[in-house]
Structure 1
Amino acid sequence: MKIKSTIWLLPLLLFACNKEKSDASKSSDTMVFTDTTQVVKHIELQNIIVKQYANQRFRQVTVEKVADNKFQLQGQAQVFEATFNWVVEDGHNELKKGYVTTDAGAPEWGKFDFTIDVEKKEEYSTLNLILFEASAQDGSRQYELPIPLK
């Protein structure tokens, strides 16, 4: 009787032992060692999100502060005779104004790139640049695009 029970137990034990080995081989991929150290590195983001401004006549307009009172503007304009005007205001006064010529006139989108050097009259005022197309009829501002200068 002991031999019969031993014969029956032997395959059962072999099957159970093989089952554990296959499970152990599967779990070895996810083994965690306690002697490892986690290193956390703080990485500064090099990509700066650039805000773009646009309306019907201006698109992809970006402003970059290149010095204390100096700003570089780039973008595209679809304006008559490839010329548009700009003015810098502080909320009360026009501090500076001018015009820019793009590399193509309407109906094409002409590229522009220019620099403005402007100082605040009052320390806590906010400068706003306004790009616009001057009306051929009366010179009034059309398609104004306000841009805060920070």
Structure 2
Amino acid sequence: MRKYRGFLIGLAMGGMLMTALPSMAATQKTTYTLTEASYEVEVNGAAYFDPELPVLNYKGNTYVPLRSVGDLLGANVAWDAAQRKVVIQSNGEHLCNDAFCNVKVSGSGGQYTVTGEARVFEAVMNYAVEDGHDYVLEDFHMLDEGAPAWSPFTLELDIPPDKLPDNGTLMLELFEYSAKDGSKINVISVPLETFAP
């Protein structure tokens, strides 16, 4: 019996390793090595530059953050938390989600008029303007009616000259706060203006 004891222990250990290794391998993710691109990306005459989120290259392919590309193209890039997916809408005249629709922007140099329709809880829509790093304006707007009705809105935004970015895109976020947990929901990001040095 002693003669077979070592053999049985070895067989048991081998069996455990054979079942553990494939499951360990399945949980490992592939690692990619990207390098900062030595060239610039230009879209419609505007160069993309962000030292915190640089253009990257992997095997001859260029990688730029989705939101940054959306900003340069005037497209809306939003995270749909409910469905756990990124949503890109390229037609700037019809930016829509469950709470905001037909959002349009006019103006320049810090003076913007934003129009559209909203259906938000208790008729309170919130908005913020960010320069790519920080919020330069945060406020709310009362609609004529709350959800489920759609209500038209007009926002007159006045951003002081010292708050405008030297390089980058000024973005407007429209959103509402969840009645359930107070988190931002139905966020829609709208480019106001792209600035270049």
**TM-score between the two structures when normalised by the length of structure 2:** 0.48
Higher strand share: 2
Task: Tell me which residue corresponds to 2:99.
Answer: 57
- Give the CA deviation at 1:50: 6.8
1:1-150 mapped onto 2 (5 Å cutoff): 51-65=93-107, 67-119=108-160, 120-150=163-193
RMSD: 1.8
> For 1:50 and 1:141, how far apart are their aligned partners in 2?
22
Q: Deviations over 1:5-44 (max 9, x none)?
A: xxxxxxxxxxxxxxxxxxxxxxxxxxxxxxxxxxxxxxxx
Q: Is the 8 A contact 2:111 2:157 kept in 1?
A: yes
Q: Is the 8 A contact 2:164 2:170 kept in 1?
A: no
Superposition misfits of 4+ residues, deviation over 2 angstroms = 49-52, 119-122
Q: Is the 8 A contact 2:92 2:103 kept in 1?
A: no
Q: Deviations over 1:46-80 (max 9, x none)?
A: xxx97231111111111111x52111011111101
> For 2:165 and 2:132, how far apart are their aligned partners in 1?
11
Q: Which runs of 5+ in 1 are unaligned?
A: 1-48
- Give the CA deviation at 1:149: 0.7
> For 1:107 and 1:59, how far apart are their aligned partners in 2?
13
Structure 2 residue identity aligned to 1:56: D
Task: Tell me which residue corresponds to 2:4.
Answer: none
Q: Give the % identical residues.
A: 37
3-state SS of 2:94 partner: coil
Structure number with greater Rg is 1
Q: Is the 8 A contact 1:72 1:115 kept in 2?
A: yes
Q: Which runs of 5+ in 2 are unaligned?
A: 1-90
- Give the CA deviation at 1:140: 1.3
- Give the CA deviation at 1:121: 4.3
> For 1:77 and 1:142, how far apart are their aligned partners in 2?
13
